[in-house]
Structure formats: C-alpha cells, structure tokens
Amino acid sequence: MAQTTQSAVAAARTAPAAAVEAYLSRFLDGRDMPAHLREAIKYALLAPGKRLRPILVVRCCEAVGGESHLALPPAGAIEIIHNFSLVHDDLPAMDDDDLRRGRPTLHKHTTEAMAILAGDAMTTLAFEMILDGIDVPARAALICRELATATTDMINGQVYDTLPNWDPTVPAFDRLKTIHHNKTGALIRCSCRMGAIAGGASEDQLAAITRYAQAIGLMFQVVDDILDVTQTTEQLGKAAGKDAGKGKLTYPGLIGLDASRQEVQRLQAQAHDALKGFTASADALRDLCDYMATRLK
Ligand code: IPE
Ligand code: IPE
Ligand code: MG
Ligand code: MG
Ligand code: MG
C-alpha cells in the first residue's frame, strides 16, 4: 500500500515529461538535418533522464496560473541545452566519461566529432524551438534572452570547473559557489523563470520563483556532489567517485559530507520559504524541491 502511494506520487511528479518528450521528438523529425546528426541528437536527448528542468518549466508556469501547454517550447528547449551540456561535459577533453543515463556516452556511441557537432547543433536548435513555438514575439524574445544568458552562464561555470584555481586570491568556498551557481544553477534558475514568464507571471510572482530557483539550483549540484561519493555507478547510471580524482572543487571535498547534507537542508528550507506567498498552485514545486533534496540518482 505504502509502495503504491509512493509510485503514484512519483508518477504525478514526472507527469509532464511524456508531453515534453513527444514535443522534442516531433520537432527533431520535422527539422531538416543529416540523418546521422538527428540520430546522434535523439540518442542523447531521448535517453532516460529525470527531465527535472522541463518539469520545473511546466510546474512554474502552472504555479503562476498559466496553462501547461504554454510551457512546452521552453521546456523542450531547456532539455536540449541541458543535453548539449552533458554531451560536451562527458567528452574526453572534459570529464572523459563513458557512461551516461545507464548507456554509453554519445562520443562512445558514435564518434567524438559527431558528439561535438551534436552539442553545437543542440545549442541553436533550442532557440529555434522557442521561436517556432511561441507566437507572441515579445514573450518569445524575453524567453530567448533568459535562455541565452543562462547558457552562457553554464558555459562560464564549466570553464571555472575545469580551472578550479582560476583565482587563488578568492577563498575556495567562494570559488566553489561560483562554479555551482553557474555550471548547474543557471539552467535550473532559467527553467523556473522561463516557465513563470510563459505562464504570464506578475513581477512579484517572478521574483518569488527566482528565489526558489536560486536555492534549488545550488542545492541540486550539492546533491550531485554528495551522490558522486555515496552512490555506485550502477545506481547513478554514470561513473561514481570521479570528482576527487579529477581535482574538482566539490561540497563534500571542501566541507565534508555532514556539512554538505546540512547545506542541502538549509537550501531546501530557503526554497520552501520563497514559495510562502503561493497557495496549492505551487504544491508540485514544493514536492519537486523535496525530491531534489533527497534523490538517490
Ligand atoms: C546531471 O543532471 C548534470 C548536472 C548538472 C549535475 P541531471 O542529474 O539532471 O541529469 P539527467 O538529465 O537526469 O540525466
Ligand atoms: C555537470 O557537472 C554540469 C554540466 C553538465 C553543465 P558534473 O560534471 O558534476 O555532472 P555529471 O556528474 O557528469 O552529471
Ligand atoms: Mg563536469
Ligand atoms: Mg561530468
Ligand atoms: Mg557530478
């Protein structure tokens, strides 16, 4: 019985994912491109990910009173950018990983050249998706602006991540926060803001959603760092225990596991606090926050 209830909660949480995946598939099938490139993009993009960013887009749209179909173009677009970031993150020149979402990484499945080019193509396809899918030009422009800034911020974060000593005069903990706010926080924050904008948020609603997003964005990467040292490769579907060997600045590496877990709880509470002004329309966001704090994958 308890298990049935749990799976019903999980099903409700991931409910928006199917529509987003269908939207992504239709878009790629309708876009002219070499068959090898389409196959490469679909291999990476449609592999079994958690789809947290597109779910956040849809739920933030709903939280501010918007209809969920309005969120589909930015929801698809953020999943495309996220996958571009994963494909390039896994390349031999970066984290050099062979496993992603329980499958060979794209450069292992095809070639490095194809993985680089698929990542490049995904960057621009995401913007095409928004411009094709939103018919109010001012809103499309605003959403593209959000996505462009967040994508650049994510890349900035990846640069800092590859050079963790980029400025030894800055204390290590501040450098760590800068890496995490950018490499991971930026796309999560953008997911929430794009959803709120697509749903026609008021200024106050957008400000509250942004506070929520800022907290869960950092929290998400703290949890990712914790899982790297506490879970197995089989459980994660990606190589575990790699950060320390690669000299990455991480929360457990810098402040230890207990303090990292406390930080997750602090950020979780901050995210809930940001949603105080919302009624039940934000319950899905409250549940997502708790899931993101306690996930094991
Ligand atoms: C992994 O993100 C990359 C990070 C930013 C830590 P997710 O854990 O959301 O990956 P998928 O999409 O579920 O595979
Ligand atoms: C990933 O950080 C951040 C981006 C892909 C932008 P990680 O390198 O920690 O992500 P995983 O652990 O490989 O998923
Ligand atoms: Mg990385
Ligand atoms: Mg990595
Ligand atoms: Mg990681």
Q: 48-82 pLDDT, tens per residue?
A: 999 999 999 999 999 999 999 999 999 999 999 99
Does residue 1 carry a pLDDT above 80? no
Alpha-carbon distance 262 to 14, whole Å?
27
46: Cβ below 6 Å to ligand 1?
no
Alpha-carbon distance 30 to 19, whole Å?
16
Q: Which residue has the tokens 């600045």?
A: 249
Alpha-carbon distance 222 to 207, whole Å?
23
What residues have a C-beta under 5 A from ligand 5, the ion? 224
For the question of whether the overall pTM of this predicted structure is more than 0.95, the answer is yes
Nearest CA to ligand 1 atom 14: 49
Alpha-carbon distance 232 to 9, whole Å?
25
pLDDT per residue over 232-276, tens digit each?
Answer: 999 999 999 999 999 999 999 999 999 999 999 999 999 999 999
222: Cβ below 6 Å to ligand 1?
no
Alpha-carbon distance 187 to 78, whole Å?
7
**Percentage of residues in the chain having pLDDT higher than 70:** 99
